[in-house]
Structure 1
Amino acid sequence: MTLATLKDVLQPALRGGYAVGGLVCLGWEDMCAFVAAAEAENCAVILQAGPGCRAHTPLPVLGRMFRHLAENASVPVVAHLDHGYTYDDCSAALDAGFTSLMFDGSRKPLKDNIKETRQIVELAQQSGISCEGEIGFVGYAGGESSAGTDPSEAALFAAETGIDAMAISVGNVHLQQETDAGLDEARIAAIQAVTPVPLVIHGGSGVPVDQRRHLARTTNICKFNIGTELRMAFGAALREAVNKDPDRFDRIAILKETHDPVMAATRTVLRNLKG
């Protein structure tokens, strides 16, 4: 059994100068490919269930899927709730067997974010699992704009909540496909200077690969969330599988053909986070 908490995989990354992939799952096919890629690269992996995934598949089902994969994997696998917005979201994930809770209070005033994140930290600690919080809002491509993380607020947030990992806003954007815009390394350095907590980059698909590799090796960024580029790999593989034979209708046979391309794309992502 290699089911792990977020702290289990991020503390070695912090000490070793590398980062772990937080991979955004949408279904059985992609999460299987993600674990297979992690085994091939001999590295830990974080399977993430975000709001879209949870709207499609109930949390108890996702918890069972994640735990089944973890219990049969040769590498550490974290079952992670991504963007839990309420106490009830996080409590339900805990009940479903998740080993890591990410509470997103980044839209709230600092005082409220600290108070509510601390409640989730206490919930997680009581069950021996981990908690990630977010300070500074990470926006969405074509949607809400980001609000950068203030280093002094980050120091206060980390100290008063007791989080195991801290998501920050330093030029990263969710759902971004282009990789020409880089992160604000000066802001990252300023945040790192005031807190030792492992740092997390949401919207990692929009970060140039060379910069991901560099930051994984030289900073306290220990987790990059990657979703969009792997969804694109899945979509391309699925489109090819469907289009090559219009008469096919067995979705299991069609979906099987996404495994190898998604696994290959994931291996590249994970390899570049090793520093």
Structure 2
Amino acid sequence: MSLVTLAEVLQPAFKEGYAVAGLVALGWEDMRAFVAAAEAEQCPVILQAGPGCRAHTPLPVLGTMFRHLAESAGVPVVAHLDHGYSLAECRQAIECGFTSVMFDGSRLPLNQNIDETAAIAELAHAAEISCEGEIGFVGYAGGEGSAGTDPKEAARFASETGVDAMAISVGNTHLQETRMSVGLDVARIRAIEVVTKVPLVIHGGSGVPVDQRIFLSRHSNICKFNIGTELRMVFGKALREAVNHDIDRFDRIAILRDTHEPLVAATRNILRTFKAPCG
């Protein structure tokens, strides 16, 4: 296996009752660890380049890095643009070799979100890659509040855009550093499932209790959980420990090498919660 589209990993998950992790990468060290963890667990993985990553590293470089890792991997790997905010940005990602683009029109009026998402989905499908869209707004911890997904709007969005995956707002929050006390709104998820037949996506998956991740992976149409903050915290802790371990060490390659195993181990733990159950 190697480089695949989002639809190629989510459709089996949708049919067989499991989920795939969308792991938000910031640089070479974490994306390499994510693929190593997926290979160790023998499961697919989605490498995601979000806005913060793209502000640090140009899309053409990220596309090459993702593709290099995918093409040498023994498991399916998706090269995914996370939170693209324009047709131009999504088109550039397609030209740079990404196999999936996510257009975030969640702040737009419904009709505009549908129209722009549909245009990007058409562009992606013409290039034989996948498109994810978002209906309802997922807020940010300590920042913008969320606007929950309306099931009727979700039904229209899924039907009229032709997206391969649909991100929804059901109590999830971006950049959350601790687990939610009450978890996601399962009643709202069930209402969305009744009126749509598209794989669902949870952004801000770091805040979702692990038991609920496992349950929803097995018993809902949620086929993709995005995980970023949780793994950034692991990387940051490992990096601080590596620096403090030898204050005279200055070679950043040697320092960063010490982050690999802790990040692989943490990623493997996350991947196990989403995998198809054995037997």
Q: TM-score, normalization: structure 2?
A: 0.98
Q: Which residue of 2 aligns with 1:214?
A: 215
SS of aligned partner of 1:239: helix
Q: What is the aligned partner in structure 2 of residue 46 from structure 1?
A: 46
2:148 is matched with which residue? Answer: 148
| Matched AA of 1:233 | V
Q: Deviations over 1:95-120 (max 9, x none)?
A: 11000000000000000000000010
Q: Which residue of 2 aligns with 1:240?
A: 241
Alignment partners' CA distance in 2, 1:192 and 1:43:
25
In the other structure, the counterpart of 1:8 is 8
Unaligned runs of 5+ in 2: none
Runs of 4+ aligned residues of structure 1 deviating over 4 Å after TM superposition are none
Q: Which digits, 9 at most, give the CA deviation of each residue in 1:175-221, with x for residues without a partner?
A: 00111330000000000010010000000000000000000000000
Q: How does 1:66-85 map to 2 (within 5 A)?
A: 66-85=66-85
Q: Post-superposition shift, 1:16? A: 1.1
Distance in 2 between residues matched to 1:92 and 1:160, nearest whole Å: 24
Structure-to-structure mapping, 1:186-201, within 5 angstroms: 186-201=187-202
Match for 1:105: what amino acid? G
Is residue 138 of structure 2 the alignment partner of residue 138 of structure 1?
yes
> For 2:245 and 2:101, how far apart are their aligned partners in 1?
41
5+ long unaligned stretches in structure 1: none
Which residue of the partner structure matches residue 32 of structure 2?
32
- Taking the aligned partners of 1:247 and 1:40, their CA distance within structure 2 comes to 34
SS at match of 2:191: helix
Q: Quote the Cα distance in structure 2 between the aligned partners of 1:230 and 1:17.
A: 24
C-alpha separation in 1, matches of 2:149 and 2:158: 12
Map 1:59-70 → 2, pairs under 5 A: 59-70=59-70
TM-score (norm 1): 0.99
Which structure 2 residues correspond to residues 82-93 of structure 1 after superposition, within 5 A? 82-93=82-93
**2:269 equivalent in structure 1:** 268
Letter in structure 2 aligned against 1:60: P
SS in 2 for 1:272: helix
Superposed CA deviations along residues 99-149 of structure 1, whole A, max 9, x for unmatched, are 000000000000000000001001101100000000000000000000000
